[in-house]
Structure 1
Amino acid sequence: MNELIKKLTEAYGPAGFEDQVRDLIQPEVAPYADEIKVDALGNLIVHKKGDGSGLKVMIAAHMDEIGVMVTHITKEGYVRFTNIGGVYPRTLHGNRVRFADGTIGIISTEPLADRNKVNSLDKHFIDVGATSSEDCPVKVGDAAGFWREFAVLGSRLVAKSMDDRIGCVVAIEALKRLKETPHDVYFVFSVQEEVGTRGAQTAANALNPDVGIALDVTLTGDTPEARPMAVSLGKGTAIKVKDTGMIAHAGLVKLMRQRAEEAGIPYQMEVLEGGTTDARPMQIANAGCAAGCISIPCRYVHSQSEMVDGNDVENSVRLLVEILSKPIAL
């Protein structure tokens, strides 16, 4: 899977600008789909038909990543910007961004008397090599994603957009391995999750699923002085019980645990105290559905070097296939 992970994580795709990622995913899923469409918001919806005896199931993994957008260009050619999604100022200085046309910029910050402090976002700027506003290669409204190459560190995989390209990989791999299913399964590669789970909301309203399962990263509690959390890298896929946006359907959580134990898949129980996923809009779309989330443990979320464990990724794929290949009784 590493080749696919590298291809997707290195792609450009800030929230609202997911076209390049969608163009990479579509040929991966096309041979395994009964129907493919792109909706008005830009979600890629891939339908695999069941045998008619099961439920309508929506699987959501978001294509977008955090990024920045140009708000102003100074007369000297420096680029001021705002955030797209959860961008943390402490991660910015000296890092690089890449615009849709490949233009690279370096983020820096105004001087601070106390070097132990961090400037707010509005005190940062991007240097794209321009000498004036006239020769600046980017313009107001242009979006950029962060730029960092994919790296393999043993079983650990590092990239700038594991959130949530790794969820997209899990969805793609599960679709490839899913030979038969009783369910009508809609794999939704969603847009604009990082700015309010917008793509999953419109897709869920249109599809009206019986069951919704998000695929996304979650935090870990296994780094020095980390906030206590019962999730670690390399100890299995994570079954979400609760986050700040939703409480997972108890029957679906029970089913996930049952399928994992039956197949010998290592898993961890996840309670996330900050953040949510595409499961939230699926849960409350229309009259509601049974919603949950398979999470991939990830260190350094919303940084330019997000880290997952390849074994956790594989076990997430296995669990999803186990769920979709058998009846879902809640």
Structure 2
Amino acid sequence: MDKNKIKEICQIYGPSSAEGSVSSYIINEIKDYADDYEIDTLGNLIAHKKGNGPKMMLAAHMDQIGLMVNFVDDDGFLRFSTIGGFSPYVLFNQRVRFENGVQGVIHCERLQDMAKDLAIDKLYIDIGAKNKEEAEKLVRAGDICVYSAETYFNGDVVVSPALDDRIGCYIQMETLKQLKNPAYDTYFVFTVQEEVGLRGAKTSAYAVDPDYGIAYDVTLAYDTPNALKFPMKMGEGAAIKIKDNSLICHPTIVKHMEKVAKENNIKHQFEILTAGGTDSGAIHLTKSGVPSGVISVVTRHIHSDSEMCSLEDIKACIDLSVKVLETPMN
């Protein structure tokens, strides 16, 4: 487990539609392990590991959630809209950073709003500008910011913004590096614009035209106080998805993952979600249909600046991925 690599990839600026720095980083990491790679028209990075079996597409999204400036008012405060899913209560008092390095703080019109139904349109970004003219020398309408927070490690856990889904990208990178005897002709796809509608997965899956698909993403942890009753717990291993709001995973893929995990003593658990989705939601509907599944990392505080997951779970996901790709499906 390379903590430095996890920190590096999580700290790269890369909201939906601006994933270029992330793909450049990944290319540098995988170029000696892939047989070939390309960046397609939309910006997806597609790395190919040749094999003699059926065609397998793997997918992890590079983009993180962000906020786009809509308007700069006369006093230099920035009004914004969301790119991806945000809770206004999570956003309140958070620091954000723009691609050019400018940072700001999110606050609300009146503190009384915090006790009512706080909404995105009651929030603004304060970059410390005196007026509109000064603010627009630094930031303009259309610019996108992301959470500004450090990545740190406490024992077995990592806490960071953008674990959704840079940790999936890290798992794919490590899987590609460790994969020796693929049972599939494998395409490692690092997708764009997942947070705004699985867009990169739709176009890349159409181009790859796979026989099978597997996505890597985070999933909600239900091990915190007063949590709803679902099986996912941080530290209990790789999560094999059964369903979410974007797909019901194909039984052949689920059974294959479970069989491989048991045969190789890889710690695992099962995932059931009633909301949310992953790139497999787009992959499985490609052309005439693609049997698809998901390997997830159980993560606390998703879509905050302090997402948290277990390093042992990450390792279990890598181990399971390698073994799944080296084992033909019956």
Specify the SS of the correspondent of 1:7: helix
Indicate yes or no: 2:189 matched with 1:194: no
Structure 1: stretches of 5+ with no match in the other structure: none
Indicate yes or no: 2:143 matched with 1:142: yes
Alpha-carbon distance, 1:118 to partner: 4.9
Q: TM-score, normalised by structure 1?
A: 0.97
Q: Which letter maps to 1:20?
A: S
Could you say which residue in structure 2 is the equivalent of 1:39?
Answer: 40
Q: Which letter maps to 1:133?
A: K
Alpha-carbon distance, 1:220 to partner: 1.2
Structure 2: stretches of 5+ with no match in the other structure: none
Alpha-carbon distance, 1:113 to partner: 2.8
Specify the SS of the correspondent of 1:113: helix
Kindly indicate whether the alpha-carbon contact (under 8 Å) linking 1:65 and 1:163 is maintained by their aligned counterparts in 2: yes
Q: Which deviations, in whole Å up to 9, do the C-alpha atoms of 1:180-216 show, x marking residues without a partner?
A: 2131110000000000000000000111100000000
Could you say which residue in structure 1 is the equivalent of 2:21?
Answer: 20
Q: Which deviations, in whole Å up to 9, do the C-alpha atoms of 1:35-54 show, x marking residues without a partner?
A: 1100011000000101x2x1
Could you say which residue in structure 2 is the equivalent of 1:306?
Answer: 307
**Equivalents in 2 of 1:245, 1:326: separation in Å?**
27
Alpha-carbon distance, 1:112 to partner: 3.9
Indicate yes or no: 2:281 matched with 1:280: yes
Q: Which deviations, in whole Å up to 9, do the C-alpha atoms of 1:213-242 show, x marking residues without a partner?
A: 000000111000011110100011100011
- What is the 5 A alignment of 1:117-132? 117-132=116-131
Could you say which residue in structure 1 is the equivalent of 2:209?
Answer: 208
- What is the 5 A alignment of 1:40-119? 40-50=41-51, 52=52, 54-113=53-112, 115-119=114-118
Alpha-carbon distance, 1:125 to partner: 0.6
Q: Which letter maps to 1:192?
A: Q
Backbone CA RMSD of aligned residues: 0.9
Kindly indicate whether the alpha-carbon contact (under 8 Å) linking 1:256 and 1:319 is maintained by their aligned counterparts in 2: yes
Q: Which letter maps to 1:86?
A: G
Kindly indicate whether the alpha-carbon contact (under 8 Å) linking 1:157 and 1:309 is maintained by their aligned counterparts in 2: yes
Alpha-carbon distance, 1:20 to partner: 1.3
**Equivalents in 1 of 2:57, 2:116: separation in Å?**
44
**Equivalents in 1 of 2:45, 2:288: separation in Å?**
23
Alpha-carbon distance, 1:178 to partner: 0.3
Specify the SS of the correspondent of 1:65: coil
**Equivalents in 2 of 1:166, 1:202: separation in Å?**
22
**Equivalents in 1 of 2:274, 2:94: separation in Å?**
28
Q: Which deviations, in whole Å up to 9, do the C-alpha atoms of 1:248-278 show, x marking residues without a partner?
A: 0001100000000010001001111110100
When residues 4 and 118 of structure 1 are mapped into structure 2, their CA distance, relative to the original with a 3 A threshold, is farther
Kindly indicate whether the alpha-carbon contact (under 8 Å) linking 1:183 and 1:324 is maintained by their aligned counterparts in 2: yes
Specify the SS of the correspondent of 1:32: coil
Indicate yes or no: 2:329 matched with 1:328: yes
Kindly indicate whether the alpha-carbon contact (under 8 Å) linking 1:216 and 1:296 is maintained by their aligned counterparts in 2: yes
* Identity across the alignment (%): 44
Specify the SS of the correspondent of 2:254: helix
**Equivalents in 2 of 1:45, 1:111: separation in Å?**
47
**Equivalents in 2 of 1:24, 1:98: separation in Å?**
19
Q: Which letter maps to 2:54?
A: L
Could you say which residue in structure 1 is the equivalent of 2:227?
Answer: 226
Indicate yes or no: 2:13 matched with 1:8: no
Q: Which letter maps to 1:167?
A: G
**Equivalents in 1 of 2:113, 2:68: separation in Å?**
28
Q: TM-score, normalised by structure 2?
A: 0.97
